[in-house]
Amino acid sequence: MPQRSEIWLDGTPTVTLPLPDRGFDFGDGVFETMLIHQGAPLFADLHLERLSLGLKALAIPDCIAAARQQLDSVTGAIHGRWSVLRLSVSRGSSQRGYAPPEDAVPRILISVSQLDRDCGQISTAAKLCFANIRLAMQPYLARIKHLNRLEQVLAAAQVKAEGVDEAILLDQNGHLASVVAGNLFLVHEGQLLTPKLDNCGILGTRRRLIIERWAPALGLAVRESTLTLRDLQAADEIFYSNSLQGVRPVSRIGQQKWDAHGVCEAIFQRYQEELR
């Protein structure tokens, strides 16, 4: 059974990464973080679909079939109740310089770590701050989960320093973008609002499930729009989504508090039903 942080490279257990590698050199690649429940990756098709979107955006050769095969092989050996798996694809090695090689051979790196918390239970309401760093606006890289995560690294360091659970990230125009590790949702007058992802942010798998399945099942309309701090302050309820939390309610951002979490809790119940 895989122990904490066991790693496979192209399907073979390893503790080293061959160099040079463009993922290490330039962040030239994409990745997925999957929640594993009793040896099964949750919503694997959505993750691999987003992985394929990222590969196409970066013009990295298609390796989805190999990624799926290696994912199945690794998860078949996991027997713990909850684990987290990261599947990364780099463009592989190349000569010196930014220009990608014409004959790139992608590398697939999978790591698995056991989780102590029960991901089938909703997390306590989170306290948030506003990140000092703002997300760069680059439509070509918006929505995909590429390996360049320095903005999130700096924001996560701020979260740790301030002793909160997450941080709101704004774009360069001061509009709401996301949280450090997830997508943001506001409830206002019976409608569910979430930031557009035209210029920055990640097309979250749980975000997609909320928009396409879980919210409609509750009779909730979802609107993707340009949202401001004023929208945040007027919200009746706030929560965020990601692969490990499912959805998590927000109780405080700075001095503003929210006590109502009914919509988030109802969506989490839909999530729980799919886990069963």
Q: 111-166 pLDDT, tens per residue?
A: 999 999 999 999 999 999 999 999 999 999 999 999 999 999 999 999 999 999 99
In angstroms, the CA 113 to CA 34 distance is: 11
Asked if 109 and 187 sit in the same domain, the reply is no
Asked if 54 and 176 sit in the same domain, the reply is no
**Average pLDDT, rounded, for the chain:** 95
Q: What is the pLDDT of residue 5?
A: 66
Question: Structural domain tally of the chain?
Answer: 2
Mean pLDDT of 227-247: 97
Asked if 136 and 270 sit in the same domain, the reply is yes
Identify the CATH number of the domain in which residue 79 sits: 3.30.470.10
User: Could you tell me if residue 119 is inside a domain?
Assistant: no
Asked if 131 and 107 sit in the same domain, the reply is no
Mean pLDDT of 58-76: 95
Contacts with 187 (C-beta within 8 Å, 6 or more apart), sequence order? 193, 235, 236, 237, 238, 239, 263
Give the tens place of pLDDT for each residue, 12-41: 999 888 999 999 999 999 999 999 998 999
**Tokens coding 264:** 């988030």
For CA atoms 163, 165, 168, 169, the dihedral sign is positive
User: Could you tell me if residue 93 is inside a domain?
Assistant: yes
Q: What is the pLDDT of residue 78?
A: 83
Q: What are phi and psi of 169, to 5 degrees?
A: -105, 130
DSSP code, position 266:
H
Q: What is the pLDDT of residue 155?
A: 98
Confidence check: pLDDT of 4 > 70: no
Confidence check: pLDDT of 79 > 80: no
Last residue of a domain, one of 81, 114, 147: 114
Q: What is the pLDDT of residue 95?
A: 86
In angstroms, the CA 174 to CA 227 distance is: 9
Domain hosting residue 91, numbered range: 6-114
How big, in percent rounded to 5, are the helix, strand and coil portions of the chain? 30, 30, 40
b/e code 129-139 from CB counts within 10 Å (16+ = b): bbbebbbebee
The three-point CA angle 251-230-244 to 5° equals 40
Confidence check: pLDDT of 221 > 80: yes
In angstroms, the CA 45 to CA 128 distance is: 31
242: amino acid identity, one letter: N
**Residue 18, preceding peptide bond in cis (omega within 30° of 0):** no
User: Could you tell me if residue 44 is inside a domain?
Assistant: yes
Confidence check: pLDDT of 80 > 90: no
Asked if 68 and 99 sit in the same domain, the reply is yes
Q: What is the pLDDT of residue 120?
A: 93
Asked if 134 and 79 sit in the same domain, the reply is no
User: Could you tell me if residue 120 is inside a domain?
Assistant: no
User: Could you tell me if residue 1 is inside a domain?
Assistant: no
Q: What is the largest CA-CA distance in the chain?
A: 56
- 182 versus 15: the higher-pLDDT residue is 182
User: Could you tell me if residue 121 is inside a domain?
Assistant: no
Give the tens place of pLDDT for each residue, 256-276: 999 999 999 999 999 999 887
Asked if 76 and 130 sit in the same domain, the reply is no
Asked if 142 and 252 sit in the same domain, the reply is yes
Q: What is the pLDDT of residue 2?
A: 40
Asked if 160 and 271 sit in the same domain, the reply is yes
In angstroms, the CA 63 to CA 52 distance is: 8
Asked if 92 and 42 sit in the same domain, the reply is yes
- pTM of this prediction? 0.94
What end-to-end distance do the CA atoms of the chain give, in Å?
23
Identify the CATH number of the domain in which residue 202 sits: 3.20.10.10
User: Could you tell me if residue 94 is inside a domain?
Assistant: yes
Last residue of a domain, one of 88, 114, 140: 114
Beta bridge pairs of residue 40: 37
Residue tagged 């503003």 (tokens): 256
Asked if 71 and 168 sit in the same domain, the reply is no
Last residue of a domain, one of 86, 114, 142: 114
Asked if 147 and 51 sit in the same domain, the reply is no
Mean pLDDT of 198-214: 97
User: Could you tell me if residue 104 is inside a domain?
Assistant: yes
What interhelical angle do 44-58 and 64-75 show, nearest 10? Answer: 140
Half-sphere exposure of 13 (CA within 13 A, CB side): 8
Give the tens place of pLDDT for each residue, 187-202: 999 899 999 999 999 9
Q: What is the pLDDT of residue 1?
A: 39
